[in-house]
A and B are shown apart, each in its own frame.
Chain A
Protein backbone atom coordinates (compact mmCIF):
# COMPACT_ATOMS: atom_id res chain seq x y z
CA UNK A 1 0.00 0.00 0.00
CA UNK A 2 1.66 3.13 -1.13
CA UNK A 3 0.12 6.06 0.69
CA UNK A 4 -0.18 9.39 -1.07
CA UNK A 5 -1.28 12.61 0.52
CA UNK A 6 -4.22 14.51 -0.97
CA UNK A 7 -3.27 17.58 -2.95
CA UNK A 8 -4.68 19.83 -0.23
CA UNK A 9 -2.63 18.05 2.40
CA UNK A 10 0.45 18.22 0.27
CA UNK A 11 0.06 21.97 0.00
CA UNK A 12 -0.26 22.27 3.75
CA UNK A 13 2.83 20.11 4.20
CA UNK A 14 4.87 22.32 1.89
CA UNK A 15 3.76 25.40 3.80
CA UNK A 16 4.72 23.84 7.12
CA UNK A 17 8.11 22.62 5.95
CA UNK A 18 8.91 26.13 4.78
CA UNK A 19 8.56 27.49 8.32
CA UNK A 20 11.71 25.84 9.58
CA UNK A 21 15.30 26.66 8.63
CA UNK A 22 16.01 22.92 8.72
CA UNK A 23 13.53 20.64 6.99
CA UNK A 24 13.97 17.90 9.53
CA UNK A 25 12.25 20.04 12.16
CA UNK A 26 8.96 19.54 10.36
CA UNK A 27 8.92 15.85 11.21
CA UNK A 28 6.42 16.05 14.08
CA UNK A 29 3.94 18.25 12.20
CA UNK A 30 4.22 15.88 9.23
CA UNK A 31 3.69 12.81 11.37
CA UNK A 32 0.60 14.36 12.94
CA UNK A 33 -0.76 15.11 9.48
CA UNK A 34 0.09 11.60 8.33
CA UNK A 35 -1.73 10.09 11.29
CA UNK A 36 -4.74 12.30 10.61
CA UNK A 37 -4.78 11.36 6.95
CA UNK A 38 -4.15 7.62 7.20
CA UNK A 39 -5.06 6.81 10.79
CA UNK A 40 -1.62 5.58 11.67
CA UNK A 41 2.00 5.72 10.50
CA UNK A 42 2.99 2.72 8.41
CA UNK A 43 6.51 1.93 7.21
CA UNK A 44 5.49 3.24 3.80
CA UNK A 45 4.40 6.51 5.41
CA UNK A 46 7.73 6.68 7.16
CA UNK A 47 9.48 6.46 3.82
CA UNK A 48 7.21 9.13 2.39
CA UNK A 49 7.91 11.53 5.24
CA UNK A 50 11.62 10.76 4.99
CA UNK A 51 11.57 11.59 1.29
CA UNK A 52 9.84 14.91 1.79
CA UNK A 53 12.29 15.94 4.49
CA UNK A 54 15.40 14.62 2.80
CA UNK A 55 16.37 12.31 5.65
CA UNK A 56 16.74 8.57 5.97
CA UNK A 57 13.63 6.56 6.95
CA UNK A 58 15.42 5.25 10.04
CA UNK A 59 15.34 8.76 11.49
CA UNK A 60 11.59 8.82 11.08
CA UNK A 61 11.22 5.47 12.82
CA UNK A 62 13.38 6.70 15.70
CA UNK A 63 11.02 9.63 16.21
CA UNK A 64 7.83 7.63 15.75
CA UNK A 65 8.82 5.10 18.40
CA UNK A 66 9.77 7.81 20.92
CA UNK A 67 6.42 9.55 21.22
CA UNK A 68 3.40 7.94 22.86
CA UNK A 69 0.77 9.56 20.65
CA UNK A 70 2.12 8.32 17.33
CA UNK A 71 0.41 5.09 16.33
CA UNK A 72 2.25 2.49 14.33
CA UNK A 73 -0.77 0.31 13.75
CA UNK A 74 -4.36 1.08 12.91
CA UNK A 75 -6.54 1.83 15.94
CA UNK A 76 -10.24 2.08 16.47
CA UNK A 77 -12.38 4.95 15.26
CA UNK A 78 -12.48 6.32 18.78
CA UNK A 79 -9.35 6.24 20.86
CA UNK A 80 -10.38 6.30 24.52
CA UNK A 81 -7.41 7.48 26.53
CA UNK A 82 -8.07 7.33 30.25
CA UNK A 83 -5.78 9.19 32.62
CA UNK A 84 -4.19 6.89 35.20
CA UNK A 85 -2.07 9.51 36.93
CA UNK A 86 -2.28 10.74 40.50
CA UNK A 87 -5.20 13.18 40.75
CA UNK A 88 -7.39 10.94 38.63
CA UNK A 89 -6.44 7.90 40.70
CA UNK A 90 -7.29 9.81 43.87
CA UNK A 91 -10.75 10.42 42.46
CA UNK A 92 -11.46 6.85 41.47
CA UNK A 93 -10.16 6.40 37.92
CA UNK A 94 -9.26 2.76 38.60
CA UNK A 95 -12.89 1.81 39.11
CA UNK A 96 -13.83 3.61 35.90
CA UNK A 97 -11.08 1.84 34.01
CA UNK A 98 -12.41 -1.49 35.22
CA UNK A 99 -15.87 -0.38 34.16
CA UNK A 100 -14.66 0.49 30.69
CA UNK A 101 -12.82 -2.80 30.40
CA UNK A 102 -16.01 -4.63 31.17
CA UNK A 103 -18.21 -2.44 29.00
CA UNK A 104 -16.00 -2.63 25.95
CA UNK A 105 -14.81 -6.16 26.55
CA UNK A 106 -11.17 -5.27 25.94
CA UNK A 107 -8.03 -4.67 27.96
CA UNK A 108 -5.99 -1.46 27.81
CA UNK A 109 -3.95 -1.52 24.62
CA UNK A 110 -6.61 -3.42 22.70
CA UNK A 111 -9.25 -2.51 20.11
CA UNK A 112 -12.85 -3.77 20.00
CA UNK A 113 -13.62 -6.34 17.32
CA UNK A 114 -15.78 -3.91 15.38
CA UNK A 115 -12.78 -1.55 15.33
CA UNK A 116 -14.83 1.19 16.95
CA UNK A 117 -13.00 1.69 20.23
CA UNK A 118 -9.41 1.45 21.35
CA UNK A 119 -8.74 1.70 25.07
CA UNK A 120 -5.46 3.09 26.37
CA UNK A 121 -4.24 4.20 29.76
CA UNK A 122 -2.29 7.44 29.59
CA UNK A 123 -0.44 9.72 31.96
CA UNK A 124 -1.56 13.17 33.11
CA UNK A 125 -3.72 14.88 30.50
CA UNK A 126 -3.51 18.30 32.15
CA UNK A 127 -7.16 18.39 33.23
CA UNK A 128 -6.75 17.41 36.87
CA UNK A 129 -9.42 19.82 38.06
CA UNK A 130 -11.94 17.61 36.28
CA UNK A 131 -10.56 14.32 37.56
CA UNK A 132 -11.25 11.59 36.76
CA UNK A 133 -10.96 12.39 33.07
CA UNK A 134 -10.39 10.86 29.69
CA UNK A 135 -9.67 11.98 26.16
CA UNK A 136 -11.55 10.50 23.21
CA UNK A 137 -9.51 11.27 20.10
CA UNK A 138 -8.83 14.91 21.02
CA UNK A 139 -11.92 15.67 23.06
CA UNK A 140 -11.58 15.97 26.82
CA UNK A 141 -14.23 14.60 29.14
CA UNK A 142 -13.98 15.19 32.87
CA UNK A 143 -15.77 14.66 36.15
CA UNK A 144 -16.54 11.16 34.95
CA UNK A 145 -18.70 8.54 36.52
CA UNK A 146 -20.21 5.39 35.08
CA UNK A 147 -23.33 7.20 33.91
CA UNK A 148 -21.38 9.90 32.14
CA UNK A 149 -19.20 7.33 30.45
CA UNK A 150 -22.28 5.50 29.20
CA UNK A 151 -23.71 8.74 27.85
CA UNK A 152 -20.47 9.70 26.10
CA UNK A 153 -19.93 6.32 24.48
CA UNK A 154 -23.54 6.03 23.41
CA UNK A 155 -23.24 9.39 21.71
CA UNK A 156 -20.34 8.22 19.55
CA UNK A 157 -21.43 6.89 16.14
Chain B
Protein backbone atom coordinates (compact mmCIF):
# COMPACT_ATOMS: atom_id res chain seq x y z
CA UNK B 1 0.00 0.00 0.00
CA UNK B 2 1.51 3.30 -1.06
CA UNK B 3 2.52 5.79 1.56
CA UNK B 4 -0.24 8.26 2.26
CA UNK B 5 2.04 11.25 2.58
CA UNK B 6 -0.75 13.82 2.38
CA UNK B 7 -3.06 12.37 5.00
CA UNK B 8 -1.04 9.97 7.11
CA UNK B 9 -0.74 12.30 10.10
CA UNK B 10 -4.27 13.61 10.05
CA UNK B 11 -5.10 11.76 13.22
CA UNK B 12 -2.16 13.19 15.21
CA UNK B 13 -3.09 15.69 17.85
CA UNK B 14 -2.26 19.29 16.95
CA UNK B 15 -0.53 18.21 13.75
CA UNK B 16 -1.78 21.43 12.18
CA UNK B 17 0.43 23.38 14.55
CA UNK B 18 3.87 24.21 13.22
CA UNK B 19 5.83 22.66 16.09
CA UNK B 20 4.18 19.27 15.59
CA UNK B 21 4.50 19.53 11.85
CA UNK B 22 8.21 20.25 12.02
CA UNK B 23 8.67 17.08 14.10
CA UNK B 24 7.52 15.00 11.13
CA UNK B 25 10.07 16.21 8.58
CA UNK B 26 8.10 19.45 8.29
CA UNK B 27 9.73 22.14 6.12
CA UNK B 28 12.59 19.78 5.16
CA UNK B 29 11.36 19.99 1.59
CA UNK B 30 11.61 23.79 1.65
CA UNK B 31 15.15 23.58 3.00
CA UNK B 32 16.07 21.16 0.22
CA UNK B 33 14.34 23.14 -2.50
CA UNK B 34 16.04 26.40 -1.56
CA UNK B 35 19.36 24.65 -2.20
CA UNK B 36 18.24 23.57 -5.67
CA UNK B 37 18.06 25.62 -8.83
CA UNK B 38 14.56 26.63 -9.92
CA UNK B 39 15.07 24.80 -13.24
CA UNK B 40 15.90 21.63 -11.33
CA UNK B 41 12.70 21.91 -9.33
CA UNK B 42 10.70 22.47 -12.52
CA UNK B 43 12.27 19.39 -14.12
CA UNK B 44 11.45 17.27 -11.12
CA UNK B 45 7.81 18.40 -11.05
CA UNK B 46 7.49 17.79 -14.78
CA UNK B 47 9.00 14.32 -14.45
CA UNK B 48 6.61 13.54 -11.62
CA UNK B 49 3.65 13.88 -14.00
CA UNK B 50 1.70 15.68 -11.31
CA UNK B 51 -1.65 16.50 -12.88
CA UNK B 52 -3.94 19.16 -11.46
CA UNK B 53 -6.14 17.94 -8.65
CA UNK B 54 -8.80 20.62 -9.00
CA UNK B 55 -10.72 19.10 -11.85
CA UNK B 56 -9.10 19.91 -15.17
CA UNK B 57 -6.08 17.68 -14.62
CA UNK B 58 -3.55 19.86 -16.41
CA UNK B 59 0.09 18.83 -15.73
CA UNK B 60 1.43 21.23 -13.12
CA UNK B 61 5.01 21.26 -14.38
CA UNK B 62 3.90 22.11 -17.90
CA UNK B 63 1.72 24.93 -16.56
CA UNK B 64 4.63 26.40 -14.60
CA UNK B 65 6.80 26.16 -17.68
CA UNK B 66 4.46 28.50 -19.57
CA UNK B 67 5.30 31.42 -17.31
CA UNK B 68 7.60 33.77 -19.23
CA UNK B 69 10.92 34.64 -17.66
CA UNK B 70 10.25 38.35 -17.44
CA UNK B 71 11.28 40.86 -14.85
CA UNK B 72 7.73 41.60 -13.72
CA UNK B 73 5.96 40.67 -10.53
CA UNK B 74 4.40 37.23 -10.83
CA UNK B 75 1.74 35.67 -8.69
CA UNK B 76 0.66 32.33 -7.36
CA UNK B 77 -3.03 31.80 -6.69
CA UNK B 78 -3.91 28.71 -4.73
CA UNK B 79 -7.40 27.65 -5.67
CA UNK B 80 -9.07 26.74 -2.40
CA UNK B 81 -12.56 27.53 -3.66
CA UNK B 82 -13.58 23.83 -3.56
CA UNK B 83 -17.06 24.33 -4.94
CA UNK B 84 -17.49 21.15 -6.99
CA UNK B 85 -20.38 19.32 -5.30
CA UNK B 86 -19.14 16.18 -3.62
CA UNK B 87 -15.66 17.58 -3.00
CA UNK B 88 -14.27 18.20 0.46
CA UNK B 89 -10.65 17.00 0.28
CA UNK B 90 -9.06 20.44 0.29
CA UNK B 91 -10.94 21.30 3.44
CA UNK B 92 -9.25 18.35 5.12
CA UNK B 93 -5.80 19.31 3.89
CA UNK B 94 -6.14 22.91 5.00
CA UNK B 95 -7.67 21.92 8.32
CA UNK B 96 -5.29 19.11 9.25
CA UNK B 97 -2.15 19.76 7.23
CA UNK B 98 -1.97 23.47 6.45
CA UNK B 99 1.80 23.56 6.66
CA UNK B 100 2.24 21.02 3.90
CA UNK B 101 0.24 23.37 1.71
CA UNK B 102 2.43 26.29 2.78
CA UNK B 103 5.56 24.29 2.01
CA UNK B 104 4.18 23.58 -1.42
CA UNK B 105 3.43 27.27 -1.91
CA UNK B 106 6.95 28.25 -0.92
CA UNK B 107 8.61 25.73 -3.22
CA UNK B 108 6.31 26.54 -6.15
CA UNK B 109 6.92 30.27 -5.74
CA UNK B 110 10.66 29.74 -5.49
CA UNK B 111 10.61 27.69 -8.66
CA UNK B 112 8.63 30.23 -10.72
CA UNK B 113 10.18 33.38 -9.22
CA UNK B 114 6.99 34.43 -7.45
CA UNK B 115 7.06 36.66 -4.39
CA UNK B 116 3.38 37.08 -3.59
CA UNK B 117 0.94 34.22 -3.22
CA UNK B 118 -2.78 34.40 -2.55
CA UNK B 119 -4.85 31.56 -1.20
CA UNK B 120 -8.34 32.12 -2.61
CA UNK B 121 -10.52 30.23 -0.16
CA UNK B 122 -14.27 29.92 -0.42
CA UNK B 123 -16.16 32.18 1.96
CA UNK B 124 -17.94 29.31 3.69
CA UNK B 125 -14.60 27.93 4.92
CA UNK B 126 -14.16 30.80 7.38
CA UNK B 127 -13.09 28.52 10.22
CA UNK B 128 -10.51 26.90 7.93
CA UNK B 129 -9.32 30.31 6.80
CA UNK B 130 -8.66 31.30 10.39
CA UNK B 131 -6.60 28.15 10.89
CA UNK B 132 -4.66 28.92 7.73
CA UNK B 133 -4.00 32.43 8.96
CA UNK B 134 -2.64 31.02 12.19
CA UNK B 135 -0.40 28.67 10.21
CA UNK B 136 0.83 31.51 8.02
CA UNK B 137 1.54 33.67 11.02
CA UNK B 138 3.52 30.83 12.63
CA UNK B 139 5.44 30.26 9.41
CA UNK B 140 6.42 33.92 9.33
CA UNK B 141 7.56 33.73 12.94
CA UNK B 142 9.79 30.77 12.21
CA UNK B 143 11.29 32.44 9.15
CA UNK B 144 9.68 30.17 6.58
CA UNK B 145 7.83 33.09 5.03
CA UNK B 146 8.66 36.75 4.55
CA UNK B 147 11.97 38.29 3.65
CA UNK B 148 15.10 36.24 3.05
CA UNK B 149 13.59 32.85 3.90
CA UNK B 150 16.11 30.76 5.84
CA UNK B 151 18.87 33.02 4.61
CA UNK B 152 18.33 32.03 0.99
CA UNK B 153 17.62 35.55 -0.24
CA UNK B 154 14.18 34.43 -1.40
CA UNK B 155 11.25 36.55 -0.26
CA UNK B 156 7.64 35.43 -0.24
CA UNK B 157 4.41 36.84 1.20
CA UNK B 158 1.28 34.73 1.48
CA UNK B 159 -2.19 36.21 1.95
CA UNK B 160 -5.59 34.69 2.40
CA UNK B 161 -8.35 36.05 0.18
CA UNK B 162 -11.85 34.91 0.99
CA UNK B 163 -14.50 34.27 -1.61
CA UNK B 164 -18.15 35.01 -0.91
CA UNK B 165 -20.26 32.19 -2.26
CA UNK B 166 -19.80 31.70 -5.99
CA UNK B 167 -18.92 28.31 -7.49
CA UNK B 168 -17.83 29.99 -10.70
CA UNK B 169 -14.91 31.55 -8.82
CA UNK B 170 -13.33 28.13 -8.78
CA UNK B 171 -12.76 28.56 -12.52
CA UNK B 172 -9.25 29.97 -12.78
CA UNK B 173 -9.96 33.16 -14.74
CA UNK B 174 -13.09 33.90 -12.72
CA UNK B 175 -10.93 33.46 -9.62
CA UNK B 176 -8.58 36.10 -10.96
CA UNK B 177 -11.43 38.49 -11.66
CA UNK B 178 -12.81 37.94 -8.19
CA UNK B 179 -9.40 38.47 -6.63
CA UNK B 180 -9.02 41.69 -8.56
CA UNK B 181 -12.22 42.95 -6.94
CA UNK B 182 -14.69 42.41 -9.73
CA UNK B 183 -17.62 40.15 -10.47
CA UNK B 184 -16.50 36.58 -11.01
CA UNK B 185 -16.91 36.54 -14.79
CA UNK B 186 -14.46 34.19 -16.55
CA UNK B 187 -12.14 35.69 -19.11
CA UNK B 188 -11.58 34.80 -22.72
CA UNK B 189 -8.56 32.57 -23.27
CA UNK B 190 -6.08 33.28 -24.89
CA UNK B 191 -4.34 35.06 -23.30
CA UNK B 192 -3.73 32.41 -20.65
CA UNK B 193 -3.08 33.29 -17.00
CA UNK B 194 0.51 32.11 -17.31
CA UNK B 195 1.23 35.20 -19.39
CA UNK B 196 -1.63 37.56 -18.51
CA UNK B 197 -3.12 36.68 -15.15
CA UNK B 198 -3.57 38.50 -11.87
CA UNK B 199 -3.21 42.26 -12.27
CA UNK B 200 -2.12 41.64 -15.89
CA UNK B 201 0.94 39.73 -14.63
CA UNK B 202 2.08 36.14 -15.23
CA UNK B 203 0.22 33.96 -12.77
CA UNK B 204 0.21 30.31 -11.75
CA UNK B 205 -3.07 28.94 -10.46
CA UNK B 206 -3.10 25.52 -8.85
CA UNK B 207 -5.44 23.54 -6.62
CA UNK B 208 -4.69 23.03 -2.92
CA UNK B 209 -4.04 19.31 -3.28
CA UNK B 210 -1.80 19.82 -6.30
CA UNK B 211 0.42 22.24 -4.41
CA UNK B 212 0.36 20.08 -1.32
CA UNK B 213 2.00 17.27 -3.29
CA UNK B 214 5.04 19.37 -4.15
CA UNK B 215 7.00 18.95 -0.88
CA UNK B 216 7.02 15.17 -1.13
CA UNK B 217 8.07 15.29 -4.79
CA UNK B 218 11.06 17.37 -3.74
CA UNK B 219 11.92 15.23 -0.74
CA UNK B 220 11.51 11.84 -2.35
CA UNK B 221 12.00 12.54 -6.02
CA UNK B 222 9.87 12.38 -9.15
CA UNK B 223 10.45 8.66 -9.74
CA UNK B 224 9.14 7.81 -6.30
CA UNK B 225 6.06 9.92 -7.01
CA UNK B 226 5.37 8.33 -10.37
CA UNK B 227 5.80 4.89 -8.83
CA UNK B 228 3.03 5.59 -6.38
CA UNK B 229 0.59 6.15 -9.21
CA UNK B 230 0.71 5.51 -12.93
CA UNK B 231 3.43 6.39 -15.47
CA UNK B 232 1.48 9.29 -16.99
CA UNK B 233 -0.36 10.16 -13.81
CA UNK B 234 1.88 10.23 -10.78
CA UNK B 235 1.16 10.06 -7.09
CA UNK B 236 -1.83 9.43 -4.92
CA UNK B 237 -5.13 11.21 -4.90
CA UNK B 238 -7.43 11.99 -2.03
CA UNK B 239 -10.72 10.45 -3.08
CA UNK B 240 -13.75 11.92 -1.36
CA UNK B 241 -16.59 9.45 -1.02
CA UNK B 242 -20.07 10.56 -0.05
CA UNK B 243 -23.65 9.57 -0.59
CA UNK B 244 -25.08 6.15 0.15
CA UNK B 245 -21.96 4.47 1.55
CA UNK B 246 -21.19 3.09 4.96
CA UNK B 247 -18.05 5.12 5.56
CA UNK B 248 -18.16 8.45 3.73
CA UNK B 249 -14.91 10.36 3.99
CA UNK B 250 -11.51 10.91 2.41
CA UNK B 251 -9.27 8.13 1.20
CA UNK B 252 -5.76 8.78 -0.04
CA UNK B 253 -5.05 6.05 -2.57
CA UNK B 254 -2.79 5.57 -5.61
CA UNK B 255 -4.05 6.92 -8.88
CA UNK B 256 -5.44 4.00 -10.78
CA UNK B 257 -7.16 2.39 -7.81
CA UNK B 258 -10.36 0.72 -8.96
CA UNK B 259 -13.53 2.68 -8.33
CA UNK B 260 -15.24 -0.50 -7.25
CA UNK B 261 -12.55 -1.08 -4.63
CA UNK B 262 -12.74 2.46 -3.35
CA UNK B 263 -16.45 2.10 -2.74
CA UNK B 264 -16.53 -1.48 -1.49
CA UNK B 265 -13.16 -2.03 0.13
CA UNK B 266 -12.35 1.36 1.54
CA UNK B 267 -15.63 3.16 2.00
CA UNK B 268 -17.41 0.18 3.44
CA UNK B 269 -19.61 -0.48 0.45
CA UNK B 270 -23.11 0.72 -0.26
CA UNK B 271 -25.15 1.50 2.87
CA UNK B 272 -26.64 -1.57 4.48
CA UNK B 273 -29.92 -2.51 2.99
CA UNK B 274 -29.38 -0.39 -0.11
CA UNK B 275 -28.42 -1.39 -3.63
CA UNK B 276 -26.12 0.51 -5.95
CA UNK B 277 -27.74 2.35 -8.84
CA UNK B 278 -25.23 4.90 -10.07
CA UNK B 279 -21.95 6.57 -9.19
CA UNK B 280 -20.74 10.05 -10.02
CA UNK B 281 -16.96 9.57 -10.12
CA UNK B 282 -15.45 13.05 -10.21
CA UNK B 283 -17.73 15.68 -8.74
CA UNK B 284 -21.15 16.68 -10.02
CA UNK B 285 -19.73 17.83 -13.36
CA UNK B 286 -18.61 14.32 -14.22
CA UNK B 287 -20.97 12.20 -16.32
CA UNK B 288 -22.66 9.53 -14.25
CA UNK B 289 -21.71 5.84 -14.32
CA UNK B 290 -24.20 3.03 -13.96
CA UNK B 291 -23.78 0.38 -11.30
CA UNK B 292 -22.25 -2.06 -13.80
CA UNK B 293 -19.76 0.50 -15.07
CA UNK B 294 -17.73 1.08 -11.92
CA UNK B 295 -15.14 -1.60 -12.48
CA UNK B 296 -12.51 0.75 -13.79
CA UNK B 297 -9.26 2.35 -12.58
CA UNK B 298 -9.55 5.89 -11.27
CA UNK B 299 -7.12 7.79 -13.48
CA UNK B 300 -7.68 10.57 -15.99
CA UNK B 301 -7.41 8.53 -19.17
CA UNK B 302 -9.48 5.57 -18.06
CA UNK B 303 -12.36 7.80 -17.09
CA UNK B 304 -12.19 9.70 -20.35
CA UNK B 305 -12.44 6.37 -22.11
CA UNK B 306 -15.52 5.59 -20.05
CA UNK B 307 -17.01 8.88 -21.26
CA UNK B 308 -16.72 10.48 -17.83
CA UNK B 309 -13.96 12.32 -16.02
CA UNK B 310 -11.78 12.06 -12.93
CA UNK B 311 -12.36 15.73 -12.14
CA UNK B 312 -12.00 16.42 -8.43
CA UNK B 313 -12.11 12.69 -7.55
CA UNK B 314 -15.31 13.27 -5.61
CA UNK B 315 -17.27 10.02 -5.63
CA UNK B 316 -21.00 10.28 -4.99
CA UNK B 317 -22.78 6.99 -4.54
CA UNK B 318 -26.44 6.79 -5.51
CA UNK B 319 -28.72 3.95 -4.49
CA UNK B 320 -31.77 2.41 -6.10
CA UNK B 321 -34.01 4.12 -3.56
CA UNK B 322 -33.17 7.51 -5.04
CA UNK B 323 -35.09 8.82 -8.02
CA UNK B 324 -32.82 9.98 -10.85
CA UNK B 325 -35.29 12.79 -11.37
CA UNK B 326 -34.29 14.13 -7.96
CA UNK B 327 -30.64 13.78 -8.94
CA UNK B 328 -31.38 15.67 -12.16
CA UNK B 329 -33.17 18.34 -10.16
CA UNK B 330 -30.15 18.81 -7.85
CA UNK B 331 -27.92 19.13 -10.91
CA UNK B 332 -30.01 21.66 -12.82
CA UNK B 333 -30.77 23.68 -9.71
CA UNK B 334 -27.08 23.92 -8.91
CA UNK B 335 -25.83 25.07 -12.30
CA UNK B 336 -28.56 27.58 -12.93
CA UNK B 337 -27.90 29.07 -9.49
CA UNK B 338 -24.17 29.23 -10.06
CA UNK B 339 -24.10 30.47 -13.64
CA UNK B 340 -22.37 33.83 -13.69
CA UNK B 341 -24.71 35.04 -16.45
CA UNK B 342 -22.08 36.38 -18.78
CA UNK B 343 -22.62 34.22 -21.85
CA UNK B 344 -25.90 33.41 -23.53
CA UNK B 345 -26.06 29.58 -23.65
CA UNK B 346 -25.21 29.06 -19.97
CA UNK B 347 -27.19 31.99 -18.58
CA UNK B 348 -30.40 31.13 -20.37
CA UNK B 349 -29.86 27.44 -21.07
CA UNK B 350 -29.24 26.34 -17.49
CA UNK B 351 -32.23 28.34 -16.32
CA UNK B 352 -34.48 26.99 -19.06
CA UNK B 353 -33.55 23.40 -18.31
CA UNK B 354 -34.04 24.05 -14.60
CA UNK B 355 -37.51 25.41 -15.28
CA UNK B 356 -38.41 22.30 -17.27
CA UNK B 357 -37.15 19.97 -14.54
CA UNK B 358 -39.05 21.93 -11.91
CA UNK B 359 -42.17 21.49 -13.98
CA UNK B 360 -41.42 17.77 -14.25
CA UNK B 361 -41.06 17.47 -10.49
CA UNK B 362 -44.44 19.14 -10.11
CA UNK B 363 -45.87 16.38 -12.28
CA UNK B 364 -46.46 18.55 -15.34
CA UNK B 365 -43.72 17.08 -17.52
CA UNK B 366 -43.76 14.82 -20.54
CA UNK B 367 -41.43 12.60 -22.54
CA UNK B 368 -41.02 15.42 -25.04
CA UNK B 369 -39.59 17.49 -22.25
CA UNK B 370 -36.80 14.96 -21.86
CA UNK B 371 -35.96 15.31 -25.54
CA UNK B 372 -36.05 19.05 -25.08
CA UNK B 373 -33.61 18.90 -22.18
CA UNK B 374 -31.21 16.82 -24.24
CA UNK B 375 -31.47 19.24 -27.13
CA UNK B 376 -30.88 22.29 -24.96
CA UNK B 377 -27.97 20.73 -23.09
CA UNK B 378 -26.40 19.84 -26.44
CA UNK B 379 -26.73 23.47 -27.49
CA UNK B 380 -24.88 24.54 -24.37
CA UNK B 381 -22.10 21.97 -24.69
CA UNK B 382 -19.01 23.41 -26.33
CA UNK B 383 -20.57 26.81 -27.00
CA UNK B 384 -19.90 28.62 -23.75
CA UNK B 385 -17.20 31.01 -22.67
CA UNK B 386 -16.00 28.85 -19.79
CA UNK B 387 -16.19 25.18 -18.76
CA UNK B 388 -19.20 25.72 -16.46
CA UNK B 389 -21.45 25.31 -19.47
CA UNK B 390 -19.89 21.94 -20.22
CA UNK B 391 -19.96 21.06 -16.54
CA UNK B 392 -23.70 21.65 -16.59
CA UNK B 393 -24.40 19.94 -19.90
CA UNK B 394 -22.39 16.77 -19.38
CA UNK B 395 -24.12 15.38 -16.28
CA UNK B 396 -27.52 16.36 -17.70
CA UNK B 397 -26.80 14.53 -20.94
CA UNK B 398 -25.43 11.45 -19.18
CA UNK B 399 -28.32 11.17 -16.75
CA UNK B 400 -30.96 11.60 -19.43
CA UNK B 401 -29.17 9.09 -21.65
CA UNK B 402 -28.38 6.34 -19.16
CA UNK B 403 -31.55 6.57 -17.10
CA UNK B 404 -34.00 7.51 -19.81
CA UNK B 405 -36.48 4.75 -19.05
CA UNK B 406 -36.54 5.56 -15.38
CA UNK B 407 -37.01 9.27 -15.99
CA UNK B 408 -39.85 8.56 -18.38
CA UNK B 409 -41.55 6.48 -15.73
CA UNK B 410 -41.72 9.51 -13.46
CA UNK B 411 -43.61 11.59 -16.02
Contact = CB atoms under 8 A, between A and B. Distances in A.
A28 B162 contact: yes
A88 B346 CA distance: 25
A66 B166 contact: yes
A29 B162 contact: yes
Interface stretch (A2-10, A96-104, A107-115, A126-134): A126-134
B372 to A, nearest CB: 23
B133 to A, nearest CB: 12
B184 A25 contact: no
B316 A89 contact: no
Contacts of B167: 123-124
Contacts of B124: 69, 122, 125-126, 135, 138
Interface string B310-349: 0000101011001000110011011001101000000000
B161 interface: yes
A62 B183 contact: yes
B88 A86 contact: no
Given A53-B181, A86-B331, A90-B318, A129 B337 contact: no
Contacts of B182: 24, 59, 62-63
A123 B241 CA distance: 18
A91 interface: yes
B122 interface: yes
Nearest to B90: A126
A54 B331 CA distance: 40
Most A C-beta atoms less than 10 A away, residue of B166, B180, B331 = B180
B337 A67 contact: no
Per DSSP, chain B at the interface is mixed
Given A28-B162, A126-B122, A63 B316 contact: no
B330 A70 contact: no
A84 B322 contact: no
Given A24-B181, A25-B180, A123-B338, A129 B244 contact: no
Interface in B348-374: none
Contact of B82 (A28, A31, A126, A139): A126
A26 interface: yes
A85 B161 CA distance: 25
A138 to B, nearest CB: 4
A124 B164 contact: no
A28 B86 contact: no
Contacts of A66: 166, 183-184, 340
Interface string B164-188: 1111000000000011111110000
Contacts of B240: 128-129
A72 interface: no
A59 B183 CA distance: 9
Given A26-B181, A66-B183, A129-B88, A86 B284 contact: yes
A28 B120 CA distance: 11
Contacts of B90: 126
Most A C-beta atoms less than 10 A away, residue of B73, B85, B159, B322 = B85
Contacts of B337: 123
B127 interface: yes
A67 B179 CA distance: 13
A4 to B, nearest CB: 22
Interface in A21-48: 21-22, 24-29, 31-32
A67 B123 contact: yes
B126 interface: yes
Contacts of A84: 330, 333
B316 A86 contact: yes
15 contacts: A24-B181, A28-B181, A59-B182, A66-B166, A70-B164, A86-B243, A123-B334, A124-B84, A126-B90, A126-B91, A126-B122, A128-B87, A128-B240, A128-B242, A129-B248
Interface of B: 73, 82-88, 90-91, 122-127, 157, 159, 161-167, 178-184, 199, 240-244, 248-250, 280, 284, 314, 316, 318-319, 322, 326-327, 330-331, 333-334, 337-338, 340
